[in-house]
């Protein structure tokens, strides 16, 4: 059987998904020996042109600028199957939080106002690709065949998706929320208050953090990390993105908290106050994919695409 | 005017482009453009400061831990929460684990193909897979060291890529004693591997230099990126080499000290100039001005600013390095040699930290914090150099202002200068290509 040809690319992101692929260690070498051939991967290979045809394109990162869009479209053209790898590609990722600001204000701060920038500050405009008004997830600009969220996804999950594609079967990936894989015990008691900030106090090691008053996004976040944060005494901040059933991670999170509160008559306002930073807490990794798309029109008016 | 464009830059993280402009039979200019910006300094504003170490690790998927920890240190200061000894040492060990993974990745996966497979080889063959095929023993060293580094970060930080345990005042949980025992039992073997790998790597670098001297009559050290700049890096304890915590020392191209400063004084020393064709600003030494005050950070600079290494095997390799090139080295091609010296140092330091029981002590890992208004600067040596995070918080402990100078940013002006000088040296060949 001939090997499947693969192209990988990093759009706007941190390259962590590629590092996760490397964390397969010798298993990656076995895959390269038996099943796959990497034809394009600028992070590791000196190949500068995207090939005309590949079987699978593995794309990390979201659409922040013109070059991201060009590379995404070129890979869609070249590949039979496109996999969006990581939460940036699937839902925009953490830098989707920049969508809370007008892009001019972002650039103004970075290139003119930061305290070490000298008086000759100008926003770069030559050579560099044009930056878009807001961050978009990959599926908003090209058709995506598989979504593998995670920040980054576990090495085994990346291997599973690639192997499943080669074997022409559906990949086995987590679909439940994080609570299902969290070792902490839920008593289904009402949430009265978010009384702690992340990392404060000494939480009971065995009990649900949300029920102890920590701002945990587990109920609205898809599993896949073996509850890495709750296992270390920290509430989930939602880096895997929403479950498939949830249209919107922030809304699902609020829903989980509010449904319990309504039954008990707890003041929802109080709970929201405890979150300190509502957009940041509810959409730390999925702002760019949220149903609050209206924010784009409000901020950009007709300028938004 | 003709232009040669090198795009994308390969075997690096990040998006870059090199443009060589040729006019009237000469190299007129060389531009190094960084093509991506995401605006972390803006969008962390409004976020609770305890979330910031977690957010900013996403600046870099290779050296996430350095960002996580520089931010932790800065937020500690904002909230006046000093980690107890255990918390401090767990963070330090996390940092060293990341250094081991990143240095192994950088040398064996990204840089070594130039030495081992060779600059004249087919570009499609010039990658880590070819190295592993041709030199399985080197491949094993590369994989084992990376795995060890990642295992340390997972044990201390909860996740190998984008660790999570760093919080204001320490870490959220100690190292599990079983993980500690496992990592400690592998430590000696890792030091051996790093040392063996360094010997092989240094030999490969020497052979490449030799080959070019003989075959092409080119002195690569003098030709490729030989520039005079200042050098910056952390030192501690009698100016010893330092990865994690200390004072920043700056030396001139001859190795003479020009200044030293504490993290919170960084604005007195460094300024940044925006560049019209690049999304990365050019930092420079304020007192010297731009562009004369260009400086370098990273393994080469760290060996230039220190008086020696903290550990035995690394010191031996350091002495060999200094014996070969002198105490302040301005070549660029020697940086990978320096990286191999540091990889041994990191493995030795990991063993030292793993031997300390305090890292498994539940009561020693954090001090409680209260969110409040404050200001803090955190500096660590990221694998690629000095990393500066600076935050100001409001009464609710939310970030009001943020300023970051990341490792490669410091180096960008020096990289451009090195490219300019190299292009001038190879002018005839470049004019012909254009």
Q: Which two tokens stand for residue A246?
A: 């949830």
The residue to which tokens 């976040």 are assigned: A221
* DSSP codes of every residue in B201-260: HHHHHHHHHHHHHHHH---HHHHSS----EEEEEEETTTEE-SSSSEEEEE-TTS-EEEE
User: How confident is the model over B8-13, as a mean pLDDT?
Assistant: 92
Contact B277 A231 (CB under 8 A): no
Q: Looking at the predicted structure, is the pLDDT value of residue A144 above 70?
A: yes
SS3 of A114-159: the string is CCCECCCCCCCCCCCCCEEEEEECHHHCCCCCEEECCCCCCHHHHH
- Identify which of A161, A157, A140 has the alpha carbon closest to the alpha carbon of residue A11: A140
User: How confident is the model over B404-417, as a mean pLDDT?
Assistant: 98
CA distance A212 to A203: 7
What's the confidence (pLDDT) of residue A244?
87
CB within 8 Å of A191: residues ≥ 6 apart: A210, A211, A213, A257, A260, A261, A266, A271
Write the pLDDT tens digit of every residue in A190-240: 887 899 999 999 999 999 999 999 999 999 999 999 999 999 999 999 999
Residue in chain A lying closest to B402 (CA): A114
Check if the beta carbon of residue B305 is closer than 8 Å to that of residue B256.
Answer: no
Percentage of chain A beyond pLDDT 90 is 82
Contact A106 B39 (CB under 8 A): yes
Question: Which residues of chain A have a CB within 8 Å of the CB of B275?
Answer: 124
- Mean pLDDT score across all residues of chain B: 97
Q: B434 — contact with chain A (CB < 8 Å)?
A: no
B111 min Cα distance to partner chain A (Å): 10
Question: Which residues of chain A have a CB within 8 Å of the CB of B139?
Answer: 29
What's the confidence (pLDDT) of residue A302?
40
What's the confidence (pLDDT) of residue A190?
80
CA distance B398 to B199: 49
Write the pLDDT tens digit of every residue in A253-291: 988 877 766 666 777 788 888 999 999 999 999 999 998
pTM score, whole prediction: 0.97
- pLDDT level of residue A299 (50, 70, 90 thresholds): low
CB within 8 Å of B34: residues ≥ 6 apart: A128, B14, B15, B16, B278, B279, B280, B412
Report strand pairing: B230-236 vs B247-251: antiparallel
Angle of helix B335-354 relative to helix B85-104, nearest 10 degrees, comes to: 140
ipTM of the complex: 0.97
For B:58-117, CB contacts with A below 8 A are: 58-62, 64, 105, 109-110, 113
Q: A164 — contact with chain B (CB < 8 Å)?
A: no
User: How confident is the model over B26-41, as a mean pLDDT?
Assistant: 97
Percentage of chain A beyond pLDDT 70 is 94
CB within 8 Å of A99: residues ≥ 6 apart: A92, A134, A135, A287, A288, A295, A296, A299
Q: A201 — contact with chain B (CB < 8 Å)?
A: yes
Residue in chain B lying closest to A108 (CA): B42
Higher pLDDT, A254 or B20: B20
Q: Which two tokens stand for residue B199?
A: 């010997």
Q: Dihedral, CA atoms, B100, B102, B103, B108, nearest 10 degrees? A: 110
Q: Looking at the predicted structure, is the pLDDT value of residue B48 above 90?
A: yes
Chain A, chain B: beta-carbon pairs less than 8 Å apart: 239
Q: A107 — contact with chain B (CB < 8 Å)?
A: yes
CA distance A128 to A131: 9
H or E segment to which residue B380 belongs: strand B374-382
Write the pLDDT tens digit of every residue in B306-356: 999 999 999 999 999 999 999 999 999 999 999 999 999 999 999 999 999
Q: B250 — contact with chain A (CB < 8 Å)?
A: no
Write the pLDDT tens digit of every residue in B89-105: 999 999 999 999 999 99
CB within 8 Å of B363: residues ≥ 6 apart: B86
Alpha-carbon Rg of chain A, whole angstroms? Answer: 21
What's the confidence (pLDDT) of residue A260?
67
Write the pLDDT tens digit of every residue in B104-124: 999 999 999 998 888 788 888
From residue B279, alpha-carbon distances to A274, B125, B349 in Å are 37, 31, 36
- pLDDT level of residue A121 (50, 70, 90 thresholds): confident
CA distance B186 to B105: 19
Write the pLDDT tens digit of every residue in B343-355: 999 999 999 999 9
Contact B271 A116 (CB under 8 A): yes
What is residue A272's three-state secondary structure? helix
What's the confidence (pLDDT) of residue A4?
97
CA distance B340 to B199: 9
* Burial of residue A6 (number of CB atoms within 10 Å: 0-12, 13-18, 19+): buried
- pLDDT level of residue A304 (50, 70, 90 thresholds): very low
Q: B51 — contact with chain A (CB < 8 Å)?
A: yes
What's the confidence (pLDDT) of residue A271?
82
What is residue B268's three-state secondary structure? helix
What's the confidence (pLDDT) of residue A37?
94
Write the pLDDT tens digit of every residue in B147-192: 999 999 999 999 999 999 999 999 999 999 999 999 999 999 999 9
Q: Which two tokens stand for residue B417?
A: 């200068």
What's the confidence (pLDDT) of residue A297?
63
Residue in chain B lying closest to A196 (CA): B370
For A:202-261, CB contacts with B below 8 A are: 225, 228-229, 231-234, 237, 239
Residue in A45, A123, A232 nearest the CB of B164: A232
Contact A14 B403 (CB under 8 A): no
What's the confidence (pLDDT) of residue A192?
79
What's the first-to-final CA gap in chain A, in angstroms? 45
CB within 8 Å of B242: residues ≥ 6 apart: B233, B234, B235, B236, B302, B306, B310, B381
Write the pLDDT tens digit of every residue in A90-104: 999 999 999 999 999
Percentage of chain B beyond pLDDT 70 is 100
What's the confidence (pLDDT) of residue B408?
96
Residue in A65, A109, A228 nearest the CB of B41: A109
What's the confidence (pLDDT) of residue A293?
67
CA distance B259 to B250: 5
What's the confidence (pLDDT) of residue A267?
77
Question: Which residues of chain A have a CB within 8 Å of the CB of B110?
Answer: 44
- Identify which of B41, B163, B7, B152 has the alpha carbon closest to the alpha carbon of residue B409: B41
Q: B261 — contact with chain A (CB < 8 Å)?
A: no
Question: Which residues of chain A have a CB within 8 Å of the CB of B152?
Answer: none
Q: A20 — contact with chain B (CB < 8 Å)?
A: yes
- Mean pLDDT score across all residues of chain A: 92
Among left, alpha and beta (phi > 0; psi -120 to 50; other), residue B14 is: left
What's the confidence (pLDDT) of residue A303?
40
Residue in B42, B61, B398 nearest the CB of A16: B61
Contact A237 B54 (CB under 8 A): yes
Contact B369 A200 (CB under 8 A): yes
User: How confident is the model over A154-166, as a mean pLDDT?
Assistant: 97
**Across the strands, what pairs with B296?**
B231
- pLDDT level of residue B125 (50, 70, 90 thresholds): confident
């Amino acid at each position: 059987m001939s090997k499947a040809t693969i192209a990988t690319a990093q759009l706007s992101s941190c390259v962590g998904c590629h590092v996760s692929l490397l964390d397969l260690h010798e298993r990656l070498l076995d895959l390269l020996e038996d099943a796959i051939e990497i034809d394009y991967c600028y992070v590791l290979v000196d190949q500068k042109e995207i090939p005309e045809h590949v079987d699978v394109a593995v794309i990390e990162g979201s659409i922040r600028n013109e070059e991201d869009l060009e590379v995404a479209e070129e890979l869609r053209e070249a590949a039979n199957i496109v996999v969006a790898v990581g939460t940036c590609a699937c839902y925009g990722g953490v830098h989707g939080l920049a969508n809370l600001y007008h892009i001019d204000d972002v650039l103004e701060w970075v290139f003119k106002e930061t305290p070490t920038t000298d008086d000759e500050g100008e926003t770069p405009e030559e050579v560099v690709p044009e930056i878009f008004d807001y961050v978009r997830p990959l599926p908003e600009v090209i058709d995506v065949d598989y979504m593998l969220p995670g920040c980054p996804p576990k090495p085994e999950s990346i291997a599973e998706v690639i192997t499943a594609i080669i074997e022409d079967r559906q990949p086995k990936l987590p679909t439940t929320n994080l609570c299902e894989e969290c070792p902490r015990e839920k008593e289904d008691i009402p949430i009265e208050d978010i009384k702690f900030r992340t990392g404060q106090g000494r939480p009971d090691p065995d009990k649900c953090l949300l029920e102890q008053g920590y701002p945990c996004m587990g109920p609205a976040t898809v599993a896949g990390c073996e509850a890495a944060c709750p296992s270390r005494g920290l509430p989930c901040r939602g880096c895997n993105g929403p479950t498939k059933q949830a249209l919107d991670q922030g809304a699902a999170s609020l829903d989980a908290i509010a449904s319990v509160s309504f039954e008990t008559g707890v003041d929802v306002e109080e709970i929201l106050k405890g979150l300190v930073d509502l957009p940041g807490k509810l959409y730390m990794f999925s702002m760019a994919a949220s149903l609050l798309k209206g924010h784009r029109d409000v901020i950009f008016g007709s300028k938004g695409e | 005017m003709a232009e040669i464009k090198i795009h994308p830059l390969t075997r690096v993280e990040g998006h870059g482009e090199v443009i060589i402009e040729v006019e009237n039979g000469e190299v007129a200019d060389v531009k190094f453009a960084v093509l991506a910006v995401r605006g972390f300094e803006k969008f962390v504003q409004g976020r609770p400061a305890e979330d910031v170490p977690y957010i900013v690790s996403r600046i870099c998927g290779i050296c996430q831990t350095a960002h996580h920890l520089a931010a932790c240190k800065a937020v500690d200061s904002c909230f006046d929460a000093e980690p107890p000894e255990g918390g401090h040492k767990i963070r330090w060990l996390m940092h060293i684990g990341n250094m081991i993974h990143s240095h192994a990745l950088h040398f064996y996966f990204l840089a070594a193909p130039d030495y081992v497979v060779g600059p004249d080889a087919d570009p499609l063959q010039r990658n880590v897979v070819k190295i592993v095929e041709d030199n399985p023993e080197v491949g094993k060293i590369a994989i084992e060291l990376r795995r060890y580094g990642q295992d340390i970060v997972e044990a201390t930080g909860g996740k190998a890529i984008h660790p999570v345990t760093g919080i204001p005042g320490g870490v959220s949980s100690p190292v599990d004693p079983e993980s500690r025992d496992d990592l400690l039992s592998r430590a000696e073997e890792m030091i051996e591997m790093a040392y063996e790998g360094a010997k092989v790597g240094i030999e490969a670098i020497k052979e490449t230099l030799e080959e070019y001297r003989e075959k092409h009559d080119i002195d690569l050290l003098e030709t490729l990126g030989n520039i005079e700049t200042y050098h910056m890096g952390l030192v501690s304890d009698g100016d010893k080499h330092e990865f994690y915590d200390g004072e920043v020392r700056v030396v001139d191209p001859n190795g003479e000290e020009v200044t030293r400063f504490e993290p919170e004084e960084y604005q007195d020393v460094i300024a940044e100039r925006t560049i019209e064709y690049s999304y990365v600003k050019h930092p420079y030494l304020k007192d010297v001005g731009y562009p004369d005050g260009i400086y370098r950070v990273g393994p080469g600079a760290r060996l230039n600013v220190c008086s020696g290494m903290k550990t035995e095997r690394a010191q031996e390799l350091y002495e060999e390095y200094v014996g070969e090139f002198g105490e302040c080295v301005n070549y660029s091609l020697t940086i990978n040699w320096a990286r191999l010296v540091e990889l041994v140092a990191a493995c030795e330091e990991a063993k030292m930290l793993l031997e300390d029981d305090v890292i498994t002590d539940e009561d020693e890992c954090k001090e409680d914090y209260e969110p409040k208004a404050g200001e803090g600067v955190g500096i660590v040596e990221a694998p690629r150099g000095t990393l500066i995070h600076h935050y100001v918080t409001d009464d609710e402990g939310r970030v009001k202002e943020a300023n970051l100078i990341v490792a490669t940013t410091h180096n960008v002006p020096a990289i451009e200068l090195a490219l300019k000088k190299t292009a001038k040296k190879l002018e005839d060949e470049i004019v012909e290509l254009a």
